[in-house]
């Protein structure tokens, strides 16, 4: 099955609420590769790649976020899968 990839920007109350750790755990559970990091503007950025149905499921989950988060918006754009990625990392 071909991989699909999305770059994601999440806004709202998404920093300081374990959003990155939650994203990593959810993505790993779906078998996705990629990364997540805090952005300087208070948003969270991520690269998600894997099976199309798993990426779509993760996008739905990100729209909800962990319990302490308040997601205002999720912007996801198609991007090329990165064949060098394996696993899902939290980047600083």
Residue pair 83/26 in contact by the 8 Å Cβ criterion: no
Residue 6 designated active-site: no
Active-site position among 13, 20, 61, 70: 20
Active-site position among 9, 13, 38, 61: 38
**With b meaning 16 or more CB within 10 Å and e meaning fewer, what string describes 53-88?**
ebbebbeebbeebbeebebeebebeeeebeeebeeb
Burial class, 46, CB count within 10 angstroms (exposed 0-12 / middle 13-18 / buried 19+): buried
Residue 92 designated active-site: no
Active site residues: 20, 38
């Amino acid at each position: 099955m071909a991989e699909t990839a999305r770059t994601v920007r999440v806004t709202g109350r998404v920093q300081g609420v374990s959003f990155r750790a939650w994203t990593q755990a959810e993505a790993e559970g779906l078998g996705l590769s990629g990364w997540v990091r805090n952005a300087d503007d208070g948003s969270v950025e991520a690269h998600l790649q894997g099976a199309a149905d798993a990426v779509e499921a993760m996008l739905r989950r990100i729209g909800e976020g962990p319990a302490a988060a308040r997601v205002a918006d999720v912007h996801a754009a198609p991007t090329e899968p990165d064949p060098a990625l394996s696993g899902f990392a939290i980047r600083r």
